[in-house]
A and B are shown apart, each in its own frame.
Chain A
Amino acid sequence: MASLTPTTALGGTIPFDETIGGNRIREVSDAAMASLAMLKGQGAAFKKAAASRLGELPAPGHAVGHAAGHGGCANHASTIWMGPDQYLVEGIDAATLAATFGASAAITDQSDAWVRFDVTGGDVVAMLERLSGADTRRMQAGSATRTAIHHMHCVIVCRAGGTDFTILGPRSSAASLHHALVAAAASL
């Protein structure tokens, strides 16, 4: 029986990791991600399950860290607000979430839907200003927003104000997003 080996969103086996100017752009390919959406009339059960597994649920424009489940990157595991009663959960695989939430939520595995780049350094906001209309200068740890980067639907999560951000983009456009990030970093 053949065995399958995974590739990163950029199509390689080693995640992209490069420092350009003052900013480091690092592809993160081993993060589990799942979508979580409350089903109608299931508020009580949903909130109970959320409290037990995720702690606090984020308000619009925010992400809240939680203790990581298996399959996640330990440092950055948070629940990201995506829409009314809709969240993107990092660091917990879909099966574990499904076991917790049962019939109170619609859950899908999002680990392969996104490409993730973590951008760190002294100049990150200057770089993000070339990419997105989100007010990244004001974002602090726990700010997160959906946004467009070069016509791609993305999510920006602030890990530390001014210096540490995660950018999620559609996996199929990984090469285009990568190009946009590298060009922005190089143009400062």
Chain B
Amino acid sequence: MTQVNRLDGGLIDRSTPLGFTFDGRRYGGFAGDTLASALVANGVRLVGRSFKYHRPRGIISAGSEEPNGLVELRTGARREPNSRVTMTELHDGLVATSQNRFPSLGFDLMAVNDRLSNFLGAGFYYKTFMWPKAFWERVYEPIIRRAAGLGALSGEDDPDVYDRGFRHCDLLVIGAGPAGLSAALTAGRAGAEVILVDEDFRAGGRLLQESFGVGGVSGADWAATVVAELQSLPNVRLMPRSTAIGVFDHGIHAVLERTGDHIAAPDAGKPRQILWRVYARRSLLCAGATERLIGFADNDRPGIMQAGAVRGYVNRFAATPAEHVAVFTNNDDGHRTATDLAAAGVDVAAIIDSRPDAPKSEVAEVFAGAVVSGTGGRLGIGHVDIRLAGGGRKHVQCGALAVSGGWNPNVHLTCHHRGRPAWQDDICAFVPGEGVPPGMAVAGAARGVFSTAGTIGDGQAQAIAQLAEIGITAAADTLPEAEDAPVRITPLWHVPGKKRAWLDQQNDVTVKDVKLAHQENFRAVEHLKRYTTLGMAGDQGRTSNVLGLAIMAELTGKSIAETGTTIYRPPYTPTPIAAFAGRSVGRDFRPTRLTPSHHWAAEQGATFVEAGAWLRAQWFPREGETHWRESVDREVLATRDSVGVCDVSTLGKIDIQGRDAGAFLDLAYSNTFSTLAVGKTRYGLMLREDGMVMDDGTTARLGEMHYVMTTTTANAGSVYRHLEFVRQCLRPDMDVQLISATDSWAQFAVAGPNARRVLQELVDPQHDISNEGFPFMACGAISVCDGVPARLFRISFSGELAYEIAVPARYGDSMIRALMAAGEPWGITPYGTEALGVMRIEKGHVTGNELNGTITARNLGMARMVSAKKDSIGAVLAGREALVAEDGLCLVGLEALDDGQVIAGSHLFDAEGPVDAAHDRGYVTSAAYSPHIGASIGLGFITRGAERHGEVVRALNPLEGRSALVRICSPHFIDPEGERLRG
């Protein structure tokens, strides 16, 4: 339990000890530790097995770029694989398990893959597992797929809740290191609305990991002072544990805030994470830089780390990776690690500096002009092999090796709009180049300004410049003193040798793979990436990309600048898909719309169906009914026999007013509405510009300048949008205003021979709704139940004597109950969408099934509804040659023979003859069992349909191997003369 590698000092809180478990063993740590630092402090070097070769792996970094330290966190349904130990805040009781090993980390059978590495190089599955062909899908692919991946999902639903959120600011500062803190302070003091985000739980960035002072105090103390001032400013919002994962259009940034990952579990109802959409007028990327390693033989042994990470563990977390640490560097930074290690009492075994002019060190022997040519050790590094400048060899024992190959500015977000970074030779790094998202600037190490004084000054200067662009003046306050060392680096990307040298440790890509890609002519960086999978793992190649393309540049003889980089895309770090979903999960995926009679229908035990966003009653089962057909048949028979009631509130209702309302409708509908009398309704056909039927409905004229259009339920939104387009864009000269009235009114169809009798119980007596007073297709404003305002429309979808009665939605529940009570003497029957569908098919009324976007008025038998006397949308193109052909599709009714079943979607073929596309005569669009006809019927389209009534054809469903004989007939199965309507 003792933390063998714990040091004194650091920024951890020793007054709060914490316990955690890794692979079943209990360890101790402190508040302020990450899981990584606690593992380091406990001397745990081995944390994982690599993806392909199952090589033992250890933590190499102290940040979000970590490729090896990936564990499963938590247990049960909340278990999450591939969690980076460096980004996991330690809390009491944390449970972590290593991945990708069987049976254990220390003894992994799959390590045999490492022996087969010659067969598992880049692109292996295009070469090795090619024979026999049959084995690929049945044998090789399943095996490879099972072996692939690192961690495993729990397989259970994610029980956590995720929120989405929206914030606005003048300046979004991304990163709270020295540059970001300086920028936020400058902007905050100027009164700008500032949001400062950082992925860490504590602000300070590299200041927390280095031993530099700032303004006479430690970097950490200076950061804390700045944070305190920022917290006191009401115009500044600090967001720790928040990663900016992407830059989108119009200054919109995605920020993932981890509100519940640092505690055992979030409280009920509280989100685990929040995905913020931050609308920033300007943004400043202060994301710092990521240290590169160097490629050399066996450079992936546990204990080999970034030199900057070693400093981080020592200075911030008071943990050393080992008792004896060697350093391998090509720049001055490696020496800092040696100094800090020594100051903490850790032995520095050697400093191997590849530069012939390497400086001397006070804390260890420096081997100038030397390189590490190999390492040894089981399950972790035990020694390094050094090739000296003169060619001699040396062997140095150590438990850790700190490697510094230089720093890569974290330019990723600057490339999210397809920007490309630019190579800067003097620091051997890519810096932001062309195509930085509009409104974004970059400060500090993220643009190659690496010294502490440099970053602080740059943060201030860039903030001032950004704010000036939006008219806010910020002051350049005196900057604190800090180190300002120049960058001194001599490039060394890899040490040539025979053994494999690792580049992308998460995807197990080596220098050898890059050479193979080059040899096989996959030389462009985009090909290199995809052929070798370099940079395609969860870390997006943050520790490997530049090394890989630098080596490719060497091989091709091009410069690194010419070779370029691949594109960085959001998200910057792995993000749970649940965070993108937010609350839109399951039933809440989209809003649900309920009809005014919904609660009443639920009381009746109705079965509901989703019609777009609506829930509609589909049928109302009665006691004893066991199959939906029983209910639907009963509802149809009862309605045609006596009276039925159906909630039709979902149909779109569009209120149209203005002096040109009639002319507007004449343009939007193919037939004429300006001539419709006040108090009348008319069926209308609406075409698309290309002549296809878009929607149909009835429109009522309630006044000289007042119409109400109905649309189908499904097309309410699109028709409204279309009409607004006509109003605003096509005919802005017309005097017409539109507004949706769908939700305002509860509307019920009351249909059947007794419909009028029922309504007379509720309609106030001063309104004459007799056949003479209110004939078929009449409409008007009336009142019901002693003065409640209502609208009555005598229209019929069912083909029976029918009305639609509308009351303000607040009375909808009460109205259905009143209708049911009033209709009781006549056995009024509520009917749902299924019965509605049976009845309209029986009458040959078309719906969306028929109006499928390829059907014209002519196909429907309604060619005359496209008026020749006026222009209307779609009229011209409806007259195209192919659309007016004599043998075109024609709407027909279909009746199944011999107790067969008409199936919607079937295609129609002559009774005899070939079945192929050339002989396809048409298709079935709607089908239902008609209890009145006593057979399965349907509607469909068939060529020359009008001439073929009485003919028997085949309706085929080849996918399911089904076939039926159907007789073509009139689509009006019941009451073809329409006598019931007019009674």
Contacts and interface: CB of A to CB of B under 8 A. Distances in A.
Given A111-B808, A151-B590, A170 B166 contact: no
Nearest to B277: A133
A9, A103, A133: residue with the most chain B Cβ atoms closer than 10 Å = A133
A86 interface: yes
B745 A112 contact: yes
A7 B583 contact: no
Interface residues of A, number: 52
A147 to B, nearest CB: 10
A177 interface: yes
A59 interface: no
Contact of B167 (A11, A35, A129, A183): A129
A96 interface: no
A172 B595 contact: yes
B821 interface: yes
B809 A3 contact: no
Contacts of A41: 735
A163 interface: no
A40 B595 contact: no
Nearest to A128: B166
A112 B813 contact: no
Contacts of A107: 657
B741 A37 contact: no
B163 A103 contact: no
A108 B593 contact: no
B659 A172 contact: no
B953 interface: no
Nearest to A188: B270
B818 interface: yes
B161 A2 contact: no
Nearest to A37: B737
A40 B741 contact: no
Contacts of A134: 166
A4 B588 contact: no
A140 interface: no
B4 interface: no
Interface string B770-783: 00000000000000
Interface string A86-130: 100000000000000001001111111110000000000000011
B779 to A, nearest CB: 16
Contacts of B741: 108, 113
A103 B705 contact: yes
B163 A175 contact: no
B317 to A, nearest CB: 32
Interface in B581-609: 583-584, 588, 590-595, 598-599
Contacts of A132: 166
Contacts of A11: 594, 598-599, 813
A112 to B, nearest CB: 4
A175 B660 CA distance: 38
Given A2-B761, A86-B737, A172-B742, A187 B163 contact: yes
A179 interface: yes
B762 A1 contact: yes
B240 to A, nearest CB: 17
Given A2-B822, A5-B814, A172-B742, A152 B166 contact: no
Contacts of A29: 810
Given A4-B814, A7-B814, A41-B735, A130 B809 contact: no
Contacts of A110: 744
Interface string A4-15: 111111010000
A186 interface: yes
A13 to B, nearest CB: 10
Contacts of B598: 11
Interface string A130-151: 1011110110000000000011
A3 B164 CA distance: 45
Nearest to A12: B599
Nearest to A29: B810
Contacts of B591: 150-152, 173, 176-177
A171 interface: yes
Contacts of B588: 150, 176, 179
Contact of B593 (A5, A39, A114, A173): A173
Interface residues of B, number: 62
A103, A107, A112, A177: residue with the most chain B Cβ atoms closer than 10 Å = A112
B742 to A, nearest CB: 7
A110 B744 CA distance: 7
Nearest to B808: A112
Contacts, number: 149
Contacts of B161: 183, 187
Given A133-B279, A173-B593, A179-B588, A39 B737 contact: yes
Contacts of A114: 743
Contacts of A151: 584, 590-591
Interface string B338-373: 000000000000000000000000000000000000
Contacts of A112: 743-745, 808-810
Interface stretch (B410-418, B784-792, B881-889, B917-925): B784-792
Contact of A108 (B592, B655, B809, B818): B655
B163 A172 contact: no
Nearest to A132: B166
A181 to B, nearest CB: 11
Given A171-B809, A187-B271, A137 B814 contact: no
A176 B811 contact: no
A1 B786 contact: yes
Interface in B804-823: 807-815, 818, 821-822
Nearest to B708: A108
A180 interface: yes
A68 B818 CA distance: 34
B785 A3 contact: yes
A61 B869 CA distance: 44
B166 A40 contact: no
Contacts of B807: 4
A36 to B, nearest CB: 10
Contacts of A8: 810
Contact of A2 (B737, B762, B813): B762
A35 B739 CA distance: 8
Contact of A109 (B584, B808, B815): B808
Nearest to B614: A172
B269 interface: yes
B659 A39 contact: yes
Contacts of B810: 6-9, 29, 111-112
B943 to A, nearest CB: 42
Contacts of A150: 583-584, 588, 591
Contacts of B486: none
B142 interface: no
Interface string B559-570: 000000000000
Contacts of B762: 1-2
B658 interface: yes
Nearest to A3: B785
A151 B612 CA distance: 13
A7 B813 contact: yes
A183 B583 contact: yes
Given A183-B269, A183-B583, A4 B592 contact: no
A154 to B, nearest CB: 10
B950 interface: no
10 A-B pairs closest in CB distance: A106-B657, A40-B735, A176-B591, A106-B737, A172-B593, A6-B810, A37-B737, A112-B809, A186-B269, A4-B814
Interface of B: 161, 163-168, 269-271, 274, 277, 279, 583-584, 588, 590-595, 598-599, 613-614, 649, 655, 657-660, 705, 734-735, 737, 739-745, 761-762, 764, 784-786, 788, 807-815, 818, 821-822
26 contacts: A1-B764, A1-B786, A2-B785, A2-B818, A3-B786, A4-B788, A5-B811, A8-B810, A9-B809, A11-B594, A108-B655, A108-B739, A109-B808, A129-B166, A129-B167, A134-B166, A151-B590, A152-B591, A172-B593, A173-B591, A173-B613, A176-B592, A179-B588, A186-B270, A187-B161, A187-B269
